[in-house]
Chains A and B, each alone.
Chain A
């Protein structure tokens, strides 16, 4: 009897529908335990007048109404964030893929090269980066010195101009393409060499191999990177926070930095929470859109 029970438990565990539940159990539990409650509380705060120091007071949709009807900075930061994300994300991905293709070739120096290209991502958002970046793009900085070498003598203040400052942040974001590159690299390695061997036999050149084998087989990874980087792009915080703080004249004010200011500098924490939930909605819609396009361009199926 006992044996029988153990046997049926084992069988149950190995049924596809229950195995799936078991495998994903850590996440289900973790989500319920660590995410759902904080998310719920923050959603509640978004309907409250809350300044952290005193208890939240429910006030309905006032925060949301204010956001859309009486807050130009909300629109401004939204615009800046869209611009930043829509420019930096594709650039970053193209760069990452290109470099991954180049570094796929194994020579003695490959390990070193990969480390070099990945290093910027390791430094991340430290104070050193912020100081360096400001120095590089300063009116008497290295960028202008280099321009001087190629005959363009200038003391242009890249960070002090409301049209160019955002580009210094975009360049910083693109410069830290390492994580996408690494993902591309490891999935490039997942493509069976037999496919290329076969293509060689058929006489296909490198160019055609790239477009007929590599790219299609890479589309799931491209899709993954696109979704992740898009989310990251819209939630970008560090670049603005450590370098420009939105200056000059809010021309580089990221949405999340504005949210942070409202929450922790002005102590309009309820309003900050509302800002965050609107962002979640925007990102959610964008992601939904990407997933809807998936079937048109993402290769699915094994190799």
Chain B
């Protein structure tokens, strides 16, 4: 089993075997996080461009650390301090970065499909580090890796996802990954954040139900994924913090409705006292810090895989020759989306 694609844009098109391969390839890098010397020379002389058109601290640091531990250099573009503010189009910005000859582009953008759009225009591998409300594939992988480490498997689990589902690319990547392993999903949150359409986002046969009472949604859960309340993605707060706490905050008492050793995951940053209490966040069921450590391992695996696979004249992921170097892009074949515009 190998990974056939040049990019990582989404988890949705990947098979269970391909996802397992990506998780397995992350294991050696988990070991490296425990080494006294964490820096490899494997990607020495390679450059990873990090283009974050949307604010990010942890994902950017995680990818940057992953690159640096592989021996690669990074170039950083942050929307706040860049020409994007001066009105440059997305394509001009990434083509300018590409002209500086990086070996891989890691990008985050507020528009769904932005990474896919960029990947069509560049020859280097593109890793989607979050695009609008679409997907955040490396987060989905690190969540699955964390669950697999703790529970020994990711098959046939009951997964409850809690919070602002509508705006959550993390939830979508998790559903697309874990759904391929027979996991069943219970989505819970205020009704306007858990629209009916979400029941259909999984592949055919993936069980997704909506439950609006938290205690009921936690019943029999193996994994509870708590999402951050994303005020920056909402035009106005549609529920007050007090009401959210009252109805949907995960506290120790409510967590007892889940299975005894149910795992609690949170993609961060956490708002303690809002969607999660400190008691739960710091409790033995919480995997929050393991998620962060595993994030670097997953991202090292992705960078290694995509950069070494496309390296030099050594051939492309599918084992094709240099002449036939167009490895398939990692996207849905049905994806006929309009090209998104940078400014939307």
Q: Answer whether A and B are interacting partners.
A: no
Instruction: Give me the interface of A with B, judged by CB distance under 8 Å.
Output: none
Instruction: Give me the interface of B with A, judged by CB distance under 8 Å.
Output: none
